[in-house]
Amino acid sequence: MRKLLLLVLIPTFSVPVLAEVDGGGMAGAYLQVNWSARVAAMGGAFVGVADDAEGGLHNPAGVIQLSKKHVTASYRQMQLDRKMSFVSYAQSLKDNDAGIGLSWINVGASGVEQRDGNGEVVGDVNYSENLLVLTFGKRFFRQMLVGVNLKYDHANLAEVSANGLGFDFGLLWGEKRPYRIGFTVQNVGLTHDWTTGDFYKNQGYSGSSTKDKFPIAAKAGGSYRFYQNKILLALDLEKREKQQLLVHAGGEGWVNQYLALRAGYNRDFVTLGAGIRYSWSKTTISFNYAFNAGQLELDPENLISVAVEF
């Protein structure tokens, strides 16, 4: 079990995952992670792509362009006793005039030793956080797609819980063209209000109240498809509150109808991956893999996800 103080549990969970996060200790650091192996292998450059079930989390306008129903899921057990689960569903509506999506993300750590100010063990605490995201997109012009995410976040640390409600807004231009441009603003209004008085009163402490604001993120991205749509290149620029400008770049190339190779650049780290796809009747299933170098003395990590189109 990790010997951590209660107050540093959340920052510990928020240390970089898959070389993607440099905002550890900030509220919602896990939202900077790419949950599917496809996006992770492409360096997180997806604002101008957004063409699968996870796409709505990067740009909610993307759900409109889906020609089938999409489901993506992943699970990973990480270092420092952390775990993360992800499931997302998305589809278009009304002949691609609108689209909807629903996503669930769970992160957590269990069996963490709680210590008092003298370093004495006083028990174990668990940490969990669940995010539900409802996505809706609408076509306003032939090439202009607009989308919004409604986010509900519930966090529980020991016997203390906090809830938050926020929004994402997204634009995507260039559907069915070789080049596409996207823009999003994320985590608008999303905060956690923590009150620790009830937890600490049995231990002789008064507790306190604090508000954790999720940093607003603005992202702009573009993508370009060529060679009969077999090759995809993407580039994103990301600016979060209290963080420097971040660059995400990646590419995907289909060797044949079954195998894709991917590579990317994410926050000074190289990402690699591959995907295998098989179709029968109207259903397509894909298994995707991503490798990302570790940082902060953490080992490199591997991610596998599965996606289904039907």
In the chain, where the domains are located: 6-309
pLDDT at 58: 97
pLDDT at 77: 79
Tell me the percentage of the chain whose pLDDT exceeds 90. 64
Q: Is the pLDDT of residue 4 over 70?
A: no
Contacts of 222 (CB under 8 A, 6+ apart): 48, 179, 180, 181, 182, 234, 235
The DSSP bridge pattern shows strands 231-240 and 217-226 to be: antiparallel
Q: Is the pLDDT of residue 3 over 50?
A: no
pLDDT at 150: 99
Tell me the percentage of the chain whose pLDDT exceeds 70. 85
Contact by Cβ (8 Å): 55, 49: yes
pLDDT at 8: 43
Least confident of 19-28, 161-170, 274-283: 19-28
Backbone φ and ψ of 273, nearest 5°: -175, 180
pLDDT at 208: 72
Q: Is the pLDDT of residue 268 over 70?
A: yes
pLDDT at 182: 99
User: pLDDT band for position 201 (50/70/90)?
Assistant: low
Q: What is the mean pLDDT of residues 68-79?
A: 91
Least confident of 132-146, 155-169, 206-220, 269-283: 206-220
Quote the pTM value.
Answer: 0.87
Mean of per-residue pLDDT scores for the chain: 87
Contacts of 67 (CB under 8 A, 6+ apart): 92, 96
Contact by Cβ (8 Å): 124, 109: no
pLDDT at 7: 45
- Its sign, for the CA torsion 304, 302, 290, 57, is positive
Tokens of residue 112, six digits: 């963490």
User: pLDDT band for position 158 (50/70/90)?
Assistant: confident
**What DSSP string describes 154-209?**
EEEETTEEEEEEEEEEEEEE-TTSSEEEEEEEEEET-EEEEE-HHHHGGGT----E
Across the chain, the runs of DSSP E, i.e. the strands, are 70-78, 82-93, 98-115, 121-139, 144-157, 160-173, 179-188, 191-195, 209-213, 217-226, 231-240, 246-254, 259-266, 269-280, 283-292, 301-309
Q: How far apart are CA 14 and CA 8, in angstroms?
A: 10
Q: How far apart are CA 56 and CA 53, in angstroms?
A: 7
pLDDT at 6: 46
Q: How far apart are CA 129 and CA 81, in angstroms?
A: 15
Q: Is the pLDDT of residue 9 over 60?
A: no
Q: How far apart are CA 105 and CA 129, in angstroms?
A: 8
Q: Is the pLDDT of residue 228 over 70?
A: yes
pLDDT at 193: 84
pLDDT at 159: 77
Helix (H/G/I), strand (E/B), else coil: 241: coil
For residues 132 and 205, the model is more confident at 132
- Its sign, for the CA torsion 246, 129, 11, 38, is negative
Q: Is the pLDDT of residue 78 over 80?
A: no
Contacts of 251 (CB under 8 A, 6+ apart): 42, 231, 232, 233, 234, 262, 263, 264
User: pLDDT band for position 102 (50/70/90)?
Assistant: very high
Contact by Cβ (8 Å): 103, 133: yes
Q: How far apart are CA 117 and CA 24, in angstroms?
A: 23
Least confident of 23-32, 144-153, 187-196: 23-32
Q: Which residues of 272-290 are buried (b: 16+ CB within 10 A; e: fewer)?
A: bbbbebeeeeeeeebebbb
pLDDT digits (tens, 9 = 90+) for 242-260: 889 999 999 999 999 999 9
Helix (H/G/I), strand (E/B), else coil: 81: coil
Determine the distance from the C-alpha atom of residue 63 to the mean position of all C-alpha atoms in its chain, rounded to a whole number.
16
**Residue whose token pair is 């990480």:** 78
pLDDT digits (tens, 9 = 90+) for 162-182: 999 999 999 999 988 999 999
pLDDT at 114: 72
Which CATH superfamily hosts domain 6-309? Outer membrane protein transport protein (OMPP1/FadL/TodX) (2.40.160.60)
User: pLDDT band for position 17 (50/70/90)?
Assistant: very low
